[in-house]
Amino acid sequence: MYVAVKGGEKAISNAHSLFAAKRRGNTDVPGLTIEQIVNQLSFAVDRVMGEGSLYDRELAAIAIRQAQGDLIEAIFLIRAYRTTLPRFGYSAPIETGEMRIDRRISATFKDLPGGQLLGPTFDYSHRLIDFALDADAEVPAPEQAETDPLASVPRVTDLLGADGMIEPDPAEESEIGDLTREPLEFPAGRDLRLQNLARGDEGFLLALGYSTQRGYARSHPFVGEIRMGAVEVSLFAEELGFEVPLGRVTVTECQMINQFKGSMKAPPQFTRGYGLVFGHSERKSMSMALVDRALRWKELGEEQTAAAQDEEFVLSHSDNIQASGFVEHLKLPHYVDFQAELDLIRTMHREHAERLNATEDDTETPREAAE
Amino acid sequence: MLETAPQPGFTDPAIQSQAAFRAVMDAMARPGRIYKAPELITAPAPMNPVAAMIALTLVDFDTPVWLDHGLAQSEDLNRFLAFHTGAPVTSDKTEAAFAFFANPQKLGDIANFALGTDTYPDRSTTLILQVEALTNASGETLKGPGIETERRLGVAPLQPDFWQMAAANAALYPRGIDIIFCTATELACLPRSTRIKQGS
Amino acid sequence: MSLDTLSSEPPAYNFAYLDEQTKRMIRRAILKGIAIPGYQVPFASREMPMPYGWGTGGMQVTAAVIGPEDTLKVIDQGSDDTTNAVAIRRFFDRTAGVAMTTHTAEATVIQTRHRIPEEKLTDNQVLVFQVPIPEPLRFLEPRETETRKMHALSEYGLMHVKLYEDIARHGHIATSYAYPVMVEGRYVMDPSPTPKFDNPKMHKMAALQLFGAGREKRIYALPPHTEVVSLDFEDHPFSVQDWPDTACAMCGAEQVYFDEVILDDKGGRMFVCSDSDYCEARQAEGHFGAAHAHHQEAAE
């Protein structure tokens, strides 16, 4: 028996309270604290800050807890919050050359000014499940070399640049854009491309970056340098006439160096791909650098052959909040459109059958005549 | 009042700017129809209250504003706009998102403002003209989107060749400027989509 | 994300959620859209506290337009009570506190997904459409750089070729919803995924029609009495869906858009009005369809 769809309001309320109960789980188990998430799930926090494009560890942790560990959902919470915040201004560009370095590696030089600094990393670890970790075992204090926090650690690309072996960092002539305030327009400048990639989905960029390594717009990349650590953020205060330091943020920067044989437009030299993300995320910053380099095909006079080079394709599909919203909207009712299609398919189905019958009649007639 | 303190703006910005916008939207959607504007604020002379209401509703630091001679001369007005909108004032007509005229008899050539491009016709200037009188009883005959059959619109005073310029502007469609006329209490709009049948 | 947190917890949100700077930006885009009917105005769409694809464009437009004097109606698939309509109505109830109605005639602002009400709209109403893909040429040409050029040059040959291919293959145009329209002879426009049954209602409608596409960051508009023509060919004129000899099982209405309801697994089905308010109003006036008697008995 048909009952007109009613009671949506109540059903939604009930669904939300069920969900809240599911989030908390068994109440005999202590609830997660924000401190626990900030301290023990730092990579999750970093990803949420990066793709949420809001640097606030506590807020990211709250979002992760609320989203039950669904990081895209947590990123969404951060984005929706971020968009309501008033803008006071734009900070001055951060100087990664003056980073307080926690980790810095180069794959292109065995040793270099400032040295290699492994820092905290998964790399070289054996991926064996550590059953002991289950208990809240004591962790021995790590040994750390004395470093001079004031020592400057020049970037590898600057060292190469001094020899003219690498292209100069392409200068940005026009004002730096902001795709959260102005809708993206194509072709986009590198500033907007990099902003889009920095906010982009790690998985999407990883797959695209990987595809360039497998020959879809191959770019012969070397990790010139990855550095991770704290940099100072400052704001130029118009009314004061000088820069005001706002605090420090941790970022991961990846400078890819790509072999380049030269083209009609550019001489043989090394070229650059750049990645920069909030927090500690080498996978994301490296993927970003690979895709950035692939997207630069036009200015370097290369041919466009692959998806990773296709600006409209990459930039239009990198945002996981847009993507998951639109994919998941298919769950919404589509009765009306489906009815329209059902009607159309019925008509076409009938017409198809009629045509088929008509041709069968045609072929039967001569047979009958022959009999 | 301190000499430096600008005249007050909206007392309840969210609610008042909505009322103001609704009047402008309704008017833009029905070209030529005269709408009574909500009484919200007064502005330093020579800007009239309706023009001021439009400024505080639509203008901000993202929208360069061009002011005609009379408006540009008023320090109080400049301070008022700077304080309440933060909009940069420009002397480059092609850069202006909005242009305000206290004297509609001295418009110059309105085609010197931004007319938009074929790909982005929206990147154009909106003109706000302060006038003395609006009437639907006589004047030019308007046709086009937002008008069921025809609508008369009389505007005074205006630069003598205004309606020729307006017709030329409509001929650029979809490029062109959009115009908002406002008296001290009323407003009416002339978007680029409106076709003008002259003489009557 | 629970909408319940919006009203009960600090920080307090602005009237209709959006900050004033965002509203100004959207309002400027709406005015441009009205001045250039059918042209898609880019706007800096914000993340809303509901997912992209779930009506964020329509919500931003409604938030920029609505005021305390307004009465809001929200429909999805013609119904006031589907989940998405309920969620959006609750959002505006909490953030704007405006009057709500399900009655089409009482509403001053109607936000809709995929339908235009059956009842004729009037001069003092605004109809806000939620739009997923605003670009009518998108499925023929995925690149924005290309489609923008086509609109600039009024170069719509591709669309006509596509429609004509349908005719060549199927004997008629095989587009049943989001059926493209020509606005004032200048811009080809996507009417949002409304069934083509609703296309004629857009033509010279007395109400202002606003379209918001949040994820795709576009706003467009049709002022009242704008010419909106569904694309067709002289020898294959545009026609709408019709259900001959079908009446609503609840209210007996004919010549409306129907939802098909499957009753059992033996092919039993019936048709009811897609517009739930229209259907209820007719029943209140004493119009009943075939299933109504059964329904009454079952309810008792």
Percent of chain A with pLDDT strictly greater than 90 = 56
Q: Where are the alpha helices (DSSP H) in chain C?
A: 4-8, 20-35, 56-65, 83-95, 144-152, 157-170, 199-202, 276-284, 292-299
Q: Which residue has the tokens 């969404």?
A: A76
> Do you find a cis peptide bond into C51, omega within 30 degrees of 0?
no
- CA C44 to chain A, closest CA, distance in angstroms equals 5
Give residue A170's pLDDT band: very low, low, confident or very high (50, 70, 90).
confident
- What pLDDT is stored for residue C178 in this prediction? 94
What is the Cβ-side half-sphere exposure of residue B25, based on CA atoms within 13 angstroms? Answer: 31
pLDDT by 10s per residue, chain C, length 300: 344 444 444 446 789 999 999 999 999 999 999 999 999 999 999 999 999 999 999 999 999 999 999 999 999 999 998 889 999 999 999 999 999 999 999 999 999 999 999 999 999 999 999 999 999 999 899 999 999 999 999 999 999 999 999 898 888 888 999 999 999 999 999 999 999 999 999 999 999 999 999 999 999 999 999 999 999 999 999 999 888 889 999 999 999 999 999 998 988 899 999 999 999 999 999 999 998 766 555 555
Residues 248-267 of C with CB under 8 A from A: 249-250, 257-261, 263
* C273 assigned to active site: yes
Under 8 Å between Cβ of C151 and C220? no
Domain boundaries, chain C: 4-139+163-229, 258-299
pLDDT, tens digit (0-9, with 9 covering 90-100), for A225-236: 999 999 999 998
Number of neighbours of residue C296 by Cβ within 10 angstroms: 10
Q: Which residue of B28, B62, B125, B149 to mutate against C (max C Cβ within 10 Å)?
A: B28
Question: What CA–CA distances, in Å, run from B131 to B109, B185, C142, C278?
Answer: 18, 11, 47, 46
* Closest CA in chain B for residue C148: B119
What is the predicted pLDDT for the residue at A7? Answer: 63
Angle at B183 between CA B182 and CA B184, to 5 degrees: 120
Task: Give CATH superfamily name and number for C4-139+163-229.
Answer: Bacterial phosphonate metabolism protein PhnH (3.40.50.11310)
- The continuous run of DSSP H or E covering C221 comes out as strand C218-222
DSSP element (H, E) containing B137: strand B133-143
Distance from CA of A125 to the nearest CA of C (A): 37
Flag whether residue C8 sits within 8 Å of chain A, measured between CB atoms.
Answer: no
- Best C15, C27, C127 member to test B by mutation, with max B CBs in 10 Å, is C27
pLDDT, tens only, A282-323:
999 999 999 999 999 998 889 999 999 999 999 999 999 999
User: B: neighbours with 3+ CB pairs under 8 Å?
Assistant: C
Return the number of other C-beta atoms located less than 10 Å from residue A230's C-beta: 15
Radius of gyration of chain C (CA): 20
pLDDT in tens, C224-269: 999 999 999 999 999 998 888 899 999 999 999 999 999 989 888 9
Interface confidence: ipTM more than 0.95: yes
CA triple A153-A157-A163, angle to 5 deg: 110
Q: Are C186 and C104 in contact (CB under 8 A)?
A: no
- Banded model confidence at residue B200, pLDDT cuts 50, 70, 90: very low
For residue B148, give the nearest of C20, C149, C225 by CB distance.
Answer: C225
When the pLDDT of each residue in chain B is averaged and rounded to a whole number, the result is: 95
Distance from the Cα of A270 to chain C's closest Cα (Å) equals: 31
Chains contacting C with at least 3 CB pairs below 8 Å?
A: A, B
**Do the Cβ atoms of C118 and C200 come closer than 8 Å?**
no
Least confident range from A59-73, A346-360, B25-39, B128-142: namely A346-360
* Strand B186-190 to C218-222 pairing: unpaired
Contact C51/A321, CB-based, under 8 Å?
A: yes
Beta carbons of C56 and A327 less than 8 Å apart? no
Q: Is A199 buried (19+), middle (13-18) or exposed (0-12) by CB count in 10 A? A: buried
Contact between A244 and A89 (Cβ < 8 Å): no
Amino acid at C219: I
Concerning whether C55 is annotated as a catalytic residue, the answer is: no
What H or E segment, with its residue span, contains residue B24?
Answer: helix B13-29
Please give, one letter per residue, the 3-state secondary structure of chain A.
CCCCCCCHHHHHHHHHHHHHHHHHCCCCCCCCCHHHHHHHCHHHHHHHHHHHCCCCHHHHHHHHHHCCCCHHHHHHHHHHHHCCCCCCCCECCCCHHHCEEEEEECCCCCCCCCCCECCCCCCCCCCCCCHHHHCCCCCCCCCCCCCCCCCCCCCHHHHHHHCCCECCCCCCCCCCCCCCCCCCCCCCCHHHHHHHHHHCCHHHHHHHHHHHHCCCCCCCEEEEEEEEEEEEEEEEECCCCEEEEEEEEEEEEEEEEECCCCCCCCCCCEEEEEEEEECCCHHHHHHHHHHHHHHCCCCCCCCCCCHHHCHHHHHHHCCHHHHHHHHHHHHCCCHHHHHHHHHHHHHHHHHHHHHHHHHHHHHHHHHHHHC
Which of C256, C152, C272, C265 shows the shortest CA–CA distance to C201? C256
Q: How many residues does chain C have?
A: 300
Contact A85, C14 (CB under 8 A): no
- C248 catalytically annotated: yes
Check if C15 contacts B (Cβ < 8 Å). Answer: yes
Q: Which of C38, C97, C171, C286 is catalytic?
A: C38
Of C82, C194, C197, the CB nearest to A8: C82
What is the C-alpha separation between B142 and B31, in angstroms, rounded? 8
Considering only the beta carbons, identify the residue of B57, B121, B126 that sits closest to C39.
B121
Positive or negative: CA dihedral B168, B174, B176, B177: positive
Q: Dihedral (C-alpha) A61, A62, A64, A68: value to the nearest 10 degrees?
A: 140
d(CA A344, CA A333): 19
For the segment A224-280, what is each residue's pLDDT rounded down to a tens digit? 999 999 999 999 887 788 899 999 999 999 999 998 888 887 788 899 999 999 999
Q: Which of C226, C227, C272 is nearest to C253 (CA)?
A: C272
- Given this model, what pLDDT does residue C8 score? 43
Do strands B151-156 and B133-143 pair parallel, antiparallel, or not at all (unpaired)? antiparallel
One-letter amino acid of C216: E
Closest CA to C274 of C251, C297, C291: C251
Tell me how far CA of residue C193 lies from CA of C183, C296, C299, in angstroms: 17, 34, 35
pLDDT at residue A364, as a whole number:
54
Taking every pair of C-alpha atoms in chain A, what is the biggest distance, in angstroms? 105
Q: Nearest CA to C151 among C186, C181, C185?
A: C186
* A52-71 CB burial, b ≥16 within 10 A, e <16: bbbbbbebbbbbbbbbeeeb
pLDDT reported for residue C298: 56
pLDDT number for residue A3? 47
> Is C251 annotated as catalytic?
yes
Chain C residues whose beta carbon lies within 8 Å of the beta carbon of residue A336: 77-78, 114-115, 177, 193-195, 257, 259, 274
Burial of residue C29 (CB within 10 Å: 0-12, 13-18, 19+) is buried
Main-chain phi, psi angles of C233, to 5 degrees: -130, 155
Q: Is C221 on the interface with B (CB under 8 A)?
A: yes
CA distances from B80 to B5, B42, B69, B71, B122 (A): 9, 11, 16, 11, 27
With tokens 């004919």, the residue in question is C254
Q: Which of these, C73, C84, C96, C118, lies nearest to C7 by C-alpha position?
A: C96
Q: What global pTM score does this model have? A: 0.90
Q: What residue ranges do the domains of chain A occupy? A: 14-82, 96-119+149-324
In C, which residues are within 8 Å of A73 by CB distance? 1
Closest chain C residue by Cα to residue B173: C36
The verdict on a CB contact (< 8 Å) between A326 and C53 is yes
Q: Is any Cβ of chain A less than 8 angstroms from the Cβ of C68?
A: no
Structural domains of chain B, with CATH: 13-195 (3.40.50.11310)
H runs (alpha helix) in C171-219: 199-202
Q: How far apart are CA B5 and CA C237, in angstroms?
A: 65
pLDDT at site A262: 81
* Mean residue pLDDT across chain A: 88
pLDDT at A370 over 50: no
> Is the Cβ–Cβ distance between C256 and C118 less than 8 Å?
yes
Using a CB-CB cut-off of 8 Å, the residues of chain C touching B173 are 36, 186
Task: Check if C279 is active-site.
Answer: yes
Is C11 exposed, middle or buried, given 0-12, 13-18 or 19+ CB atoms closer than 10 A? Answer: exposed
Cα C260 from chain centre:
20
Q: Contact, A299 vs A170, CB < 8 A?
A: yes
